[in-house]
């Protein structure tokens, strides 16, 4: 009799490969389901905006990114609000991890074209133009917009844009919490402009004394959910204003050349014409150079006579402050009747929200 050696089973060698194939098939099924859901919801949102009077269109749409990402690419995108404001992008890419589809990053690699209703177009290009949105399944998501070294170029014949370029422009929004955990219908916002350079002969250039303007502003937007309705022909802030929307707890700081100031306001709102109303308290250091530069502005809506009066008053107050050892000069900026006032002196039109 001859002993025969039993060959070992190879099933154990195949098992890991089989498990990997099963996992890959399941994951691919999830990715296909997810991307179809993204496509369906995107088309539904576009149709909803169109029914509300928006003009939304694009030349081509692609959804790629398998296996671990969901990437939506749009070309020749146009988004125009009922008020006439619009954004055009030759290319816009949005991307999220397939395992975390509630957080997205949106990039405009070729820049944007902004259309300002009644004012014309301005091209925006830079090293980076991107936005992130997380918690999109929440009542109000966390939003962050960032522009790195943006350059603003107004199209020929259109109204000039106040800023020519900047080192950074950032805008953040997040749900306002009552206490530490309870979300409300309000939103915390922060805007930051770093080393902004005004257009030639414009008010920003004059105010910054041919230097750089850096500012940071924070506020709470009340009843922010009204902004998500898309607005009407008057603008996105119109219905919000009519419903009593306000900016609360406004805080910020400003540096323009040699001039510096911190600012605060309890409440700011808009009037029926969309102009800002309320008052802002300033603690200013060396305000005279900024006001003198504003007075010397050769283009734009600046009231040079009012700026000259404000500069003279600030100069006298600054001299008094030096005599008494007071470095900071308290000033009050008032928005009323569609104008911006420093004491009795009108400086320029009040900022317009819509």
Summarize the confidence of residues 175-194 as an average pLDDT.
85
Q: 231: pLDDT confidence band, cut at 50, 70 and 90?
A: low
DSSP assignment of 193-259 equals EEEEEEPTTSHHHHHTTTS-EEEEEEEEETTGGGGGG--BTTBTTHHHHHTT--EEEEEEEEEETTE
Task: Identify the pLDDT of residue 7.
Answer: 64
Summarize the confidence of residues 98-105 as an average pLDDT.
94
pLDDT value at 267 more than 50: yes
Can you tell me whether residue 343 is helix, strand or coil? Answer: coil
Minimal CA–CA distance to 176: which of 146, 145, 142, 133?
142
Picking from 37-51, 270-284, 307-321, which range would have the lowest pLDDT averaged per residue? 307-321
pLDDT value at 311 more than 60: yes
Q: 313: pLDDT confidence band, cut at 50, 70 and 90?
A: confident
pLDDT of 245-260, one tens digit each? 899 999 999 999 889 9
Task: Identify the pLDDT of residue 1.
Answer: 47
pLDDT of 59-96, one tens digit each? 999 999 999 999 999 999 999 988 889 999 999 999 99
Minimal CA–CA distance to 276: which of 346, 187, 338, 204?
338
């Amino acid at each position: 009799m001859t002993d025969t050696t039993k060959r070992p089973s190879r099933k154990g060698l195949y098992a890991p490969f089989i498990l990997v194939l099963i996992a890959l098939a399941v994951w691919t099924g999830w990715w296909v389901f997810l991307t179809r859901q993204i496509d369906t919801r995107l088309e539904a949102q576009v149709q909803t905006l169109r029914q509300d009077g928006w003009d939304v269109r694009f030349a081509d749409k692609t959804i790629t990114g398998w296996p671990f990402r969901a990437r939506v690419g749009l070309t020749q995108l146009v988004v125009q609000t009922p008020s006439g404001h619009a954004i055009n992008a030759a290319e816009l890419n949005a991307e999220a991890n397939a395992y975390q589809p509630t957080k997205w990053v949106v990039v405009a690699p070729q820049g944007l074209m902004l259309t300002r209703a009644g004012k014309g177009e301005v091209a925006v290009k830079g090293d980076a133009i991107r936005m992130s949105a997380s918690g999109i399944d929440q009542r109000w998501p966390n939003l962050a917009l960032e522009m790195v070294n943006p350059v603003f170029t107004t199209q020929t014949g259109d109204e000039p844009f106040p800023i020519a370029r900047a080192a950074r422009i950032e805008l953040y929004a997040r749900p306002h919490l009552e206490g530490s955990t309870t979300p409300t219908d309000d939103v915390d916002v922060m805007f930051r402009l770093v080393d902004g350079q005004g257009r030639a002969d414009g008010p920003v250039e004059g105010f910054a004394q041919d230097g750089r303007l850096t500012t940071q502003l924070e506020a709470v937007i009340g009843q922010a959910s009204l902004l998500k309705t898309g607005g009407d022909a008057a603008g996105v802030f119109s219905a919000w204003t009519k419903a009593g929307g306000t900016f609360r707890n406004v805080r910020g700081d400003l540096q323009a050349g040699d001039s510096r100031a911190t600012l605060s306001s309890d409440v700011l709102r808009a009037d029926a014409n969309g102009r800002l109303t309320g008052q802002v308290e300033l603690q200013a250091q060396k305000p005279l150079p900024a006001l003198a530069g504003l007075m010397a502005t050769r283009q734009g809506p600046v009231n040079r006579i009012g700026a000259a009066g404000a500069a003279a008053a600030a100069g006298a107050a600054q001299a008094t402050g030096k005599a008494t050892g007071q470095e900071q000069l308290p000033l009050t900026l008032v928005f009323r009747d569609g104008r911006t006032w420093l004491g009795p002196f009108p400086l320029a039109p009040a900022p317009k929200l819509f």
